[in-house]
Chain A
Amino acid sequence: MEKKYIPLNFLPLGMKGKVKVLTAGGSIRRRLLDLGLVSDTEVEALQKSPSGDPVAYHIRGAVIALRSEEASKIWIEAI
């Protein structure tokens, strides 16, 4: 069975997904990993800022805002 992954910034508000692949490199990758965004971590899209970007996500018990640039480098599987 083939599963489709989408970038995190495509996750609709209120929906959850599981982190599958990080395409970011270097320091951004380290930052994202430090936030706990390792494989299979559950992420929920919570709230858009007034201009639509950044978006706040629920990640491992914390609320973290990410710009679309970063979120687009986190590929998830919607659940």
Chain B
Amino acid sequence: MARFIFNRLISMIFVLLATLVIIFTLMYFVPGDPAISLLGESATIEAVKDIHTKLGLDDPYLVRLGRCLWDFVRADFGISYRSKTPVFGEIMARYPTTLKLTLGSTILGILIGVSAGIVSAVKQYSIFDRVFTTISLFGASAPSFWLAMVLVLIFSLWLGWLPATGSYELKYWLLPVFTMGLQCSAFIMRMTRSSMLEVIRQDYVRTARAKGQTEMKIIINHALRNALIPILTVTGMRLCGLLGGSVLVETVFALPGIGKYILDSVSFQDYPVVQGGVMWICFNCVVITFIIDMLYGAVDPRIRSMYGVKKLSRRQSVKEV
């Protein structure tokens, strides 16, 4: 197990480094000049050159890449061209918003998706199954920005029940969390349904039923537990997707999250922010994937025992030598 964790940590570092090289290279070749964005249209050519020198924008690709990698190794995300403040601080100022939105949506998605998925599987082809499947199809295919605008139109503009933008109190979060949570729940619901359908026809479920266990116990303890692996996988993937992909919802609801910050910085050619923001999201995704991998072992004894067997076979092989 320790070796597995060690290997995973090493691969995480490589993933982060590769991401940094890719994002740096992309930003390097994106056309545009941050100096002009900084100084405005009245700037002289001389002033633009000064900014180039000050920011090191005239240095060759490899020099700038080396500087970027060295800063990354020292956990230095650099200074924003636009705000002139450390990028890490700017990201941290926006991180709670993105985290609240992402976690809130995922929790909502799990609650709705798992419950609806179980009901759909247990009552296959019933009216519940058909309704939930239709809603999940809608949730999965409706673009988030469109759904967000429709919800704002109904609940803010027409009914006046909820605020359209902002992030101050619980009521401000209902629409954005529901927008993203509905999409998340759609994927989780479909995965739960198909996994449960596979599991509930297994022999051990029939055995549990023959032993006289209650239907609830059978579904929760025997069926759901064994169907959790694909659900965990899709939940982890959705969580990563929401972290970086919440930009449209953040834009519509004026939520000061990381996604919107990165997008604004792209148009301003604020390279340190784009690199830092993408790296932070990448780091989060890598950690989430790692946690999901750990959870596989926690929920499925077969995976735990697999590590144990490996250890045993290694010891055995030593003895054999």
Q: Note whether A and B form a binding pair.
A: no
Interface set of B (CB-CB < 8 Å, partner A): none
